[in-house]
Structure 1
Amino acid sequence: MNKTDRLLAIVLELQSREVVRGEDLAALFETSVRTIYRDIQALSEAGVPIIGAPGTGYSLMKGYFLPPVSFTVEEAVTLLIGTDFIEQRFDEEYRVRSQAVRKKVEAVLSENVRREASRLRKALRLLAPGKQVALSKEREYFEKIRQALLDERKIRFHYSKKMGDSGGNPHSDRTVAPYGLVLVEGAWMLVGYCDLRQDIRHFRLSRMTELIALEERFKLPADFNLREYTPKDDRDLRVRLLFNPDLADKVKESGYPYMEDMEEHPDGLHVVLRIRQQDEVLRWVLGWGAGVTVLEPAAFRDRIREEALKILKRY
């Protein structure tokens, strides 16, 4: 990194943190502390208001902001594709904001970078998910939940699960304190504290109906961090499958989330699924027809046989 690039990087680093020690800057930019001292002096002489406190570190005077000087083609494309993604998957307010961001980014690009970024961006495409009606409802609920998160208000909705709960009922009304929204395999999930279950639960927005924000407030637990949160893994049932060799590539490309392990053998592709209950993977396994054999457990093999006989009776 040359001196000019390092000076700009030091300012950006100071902008992002309240106080930075000279030793930390030296380690970050792989140079000596003495060089950092000279860089700080050069920035001060150039008019950058840097405050230095002995034994504490450096900080920028409050209110000072240095906008980025320029973007590379790759950086510009990254930002512009990001706005495309937000337009597709976020609510209306953020879609409008993403359009404004795109105009601002394009306005500060040099003509050469703007031309090259446009050429590269035309070679990349984000396909919008199908089922536009369902996606429209998901966006509507995303906006309501996002606002409830900001206002720290609980929400109530009717929820439909793929499989029934312990009482056999796949439908229930839930009151939830929303902790965060997570995009999982193209679908938005709500992570929140469920009053019914008295624990943190996950809910797909696409399975919600009749969602409303309540007046009842909540406080996010001080020890909860969405970025560090890891859901409890209770998938303790393993299913071993054998796929015909001609299906191996398709199975690998499927990216099925329940696959834990796979190995190729002369007789075909051996796959291990880890699940909570058989119904989670029943339709997926049946979808491969005669190209897959359930090796174990025996109970799941019997279940597949029963379903196959039901299908045979229909035809």
Structure 2
Amino acid sequence: MNHETVLRLITLLQLIPNSPRSSNTWTLKQKLIEEGFAPSDRTLQRDLEKLSLGFPIECDDSKKPYKWSLHNDYSNRLPEMDNASALTWALAEEYLTGLLPQVAVDKLKNQFEHAHQILDVQSKNSFSQWRQTVKAIPNGKALIPAEIESDIWQVVTEALLEKKALEVEYLSRKKNKVKSFSVHPIGMVVKHSITYLVAMIKDYDDIRQLALHRIKKATLTESNARTIENFSIDEYINSGAFGYSIEEKETELNALIEPSVAWVLEETPVSHQQELIFEPKMNLFKLKATVPDNDETLWWLMGFGSKVEVVSPKCWREKIYNHALAIVERAQ
């Protein structure tokens, strides 16, 4: 269950009144729309059924639209946010803003604003200066997440959850031209600053990756999306589809590293199988570690520049050498 679904369920629970008051299905849907959601009738019905499994929700189905209420002695209000929780939400906002598309972060806007209010109004406690004392920074240079239109995000996520086909207008990166075609969503992946819709196109069976920020228009259809039997997003990623694998083969890294890098790796190891041995004659550390055998690990090593000398794998050492040589030749 993704964060959008969780947030929609929490919001819906908050909208259901205690008996003897009640709200019908149509009213609940309109209130959800006001909160920034756009569930289909089927989605709303399914959400109410899910909530009914864990909460004392009563349904008057004597006539349509059905009426919904919570047992009169049940409190559906979430616990009041304390200072420490508010500070945690503030940190989460800082972190997620650099990780997720803004349209996704905006779905948590009410929680963030509530946290801000709690921290801002308490001028006499130790949390009052949080804006000046709290910051979440990325590990390395993070690109700004690609901007996704709110209506595109809403339609695409609903199609994915409802297993419905889409009609889209998509900007082709190779041809720099907008093309129209049908899309059958089967998954979604956020990688660095870009969110991808994993899908099949038209009547083709091969799996494609569509960058959401390049979708210029998306229309939800009534047609069921084509599916792949036993499809697993983890297995798809492990196949190397995104240049990355969750369960990738590993290799033994041996390198000579400067003390400043060793200090970092002592506190935050590159792997659970890591050894650091100081060599006083060279004033360097020998690093031995089991690491993922992929390009991302290699790029991470290259980011240290001359502070890290890779001894093995030999192919990595050669790639780093050739990369450095190309830079020198270009500078001459």
Q: TM-score, normalised by structure 1?
A: 0.51
Q: How does 1:180-219 map to 2 (within 5 A)?
A: 180-183=187-190, 187-190=193-196, 192-195=198-201, 198=205, 209=214, 211-213=216-218, 218=225
State the alpha-carbon separation in 1 of the partners of residues 119 and 304 from structure 2.
52
Cα distance, 1:264 vs structure 2: 0.6
State yes or no: 1:265 paired with 2:277.
Answer: yes
Q: Which amino acid aligns with 1:70?
A: E
State yes or no: 1:71 paired with 2:103.
Answer: no
Q: In structure 2, which of residues 279, 293, 303 is the aligned counterpart of residue 275 of structure 1? A: 293
Question: Could you tell me which residue of structure 2 aligns to residue 294 of structure 1?
Answer: 310
Task: Specify the SS of the correspondent of 1:149.
Answer: helix
Question: Could you tell me which residue of structure 1 aligns to residue 148 of structure 2?
Answer: 140
Q: Which amino acid aligns with 2:148?
A: E
Change (3 A) 1:203 1:124: farther
Cα distance, 1:242 vs structure 2: 0.4
Q: How does 1:86-97 map to 2 (within 5 A)?
A: 89-92=100-103, 95=106
Alpha-carbon deviations, 1:88-118, whole Å to 9, x = none?
A: 64445863x64445556778x7999796585
State the alpha-carbon separation in 2 of the partners of residues 214 and 255 from structure 1.
46
Q: How does 1:82-161 map to 2 (within 5 A)?
A: 82=92, 89-92=100-103, 95=106, 98-102=108-112, 116=125, 118-119=127-128, 121-122=130-131, 123-126=133-136, 135=144, 138-140=146-148, 144-151=152-159, 152-154=164-166, 155=168, 156-158=170-172
Q: In structure 1, which of residues 290, 308, 311 is the aligned counterpart of residue 327 of structure 2? A: 311
State yes or no: 1:60 paired with 2:47.
Answer: no
Question: Could you tell me which residue of structure 1 aligns to residue 34 of structure 2?
Answer: none
Alpha-carbon deviations, 1:159-178, whole Å to 9, x = none?
A: 58xxxxxxxxxxxx998644
Q: Contact between 1:193 and 1:201, CA under 8 Å: does it hold in 2? A: yes
Question: Could you tell me which residue of structure 1 aligns to residue 44 of structure 2?
Answer: none
Change (3 A) 1:81 1:261: same
State the alpha-carbon separation in 1 of the partners of residues 89 and 237 from structure 2.
31
Q: TM-score, normalised by structure 2?
A: 0.49
Identity within the alignment, % = 14
Change (3 A) 1:219 1:260: farther
State yes or no: 1:243 paired with 2:262.
Answer: no
State the alpha-carbon separation in 2 of the partners of residues 239 and 176 from structure 1.
42
Count, aligned residues? 238
State the alpha-carbon separation in 1 of the partners of residues 313 and 208 from structure 2.
29
Cα distance, 1:308 vs structure 2: 3.4
Cα distance, 1:286 vs structure 2: 3.8
Structure 1 stretches of 5 or more lacking a match? Answer: 1-11, 17-56, 161-172
Q: Contact between 2:252 and 2:288, CA under 8 Å: does it hold in 1? A: no
After superposition, the CA RMSD in angstroms is 5.2
Larger Rg: 1
Q: Contact between 1:180 and 1:192, CA under 8 Å: does it hold in 2? A: yes
Change (3 A) 1:252 1:214: farther
Change (3 A) 1:273 1:119: same
Q: Contact between 1:181 and 1:190, CA under 8 Å: does it hold in 2? A: yes
Q: Contact between 1:241 and 1:292, CA under 8 Å: does it hold in 2? A: no
Q: Contact between 2:250 and 2:292, CA under 8 Å: does it hold in 1? A: yes
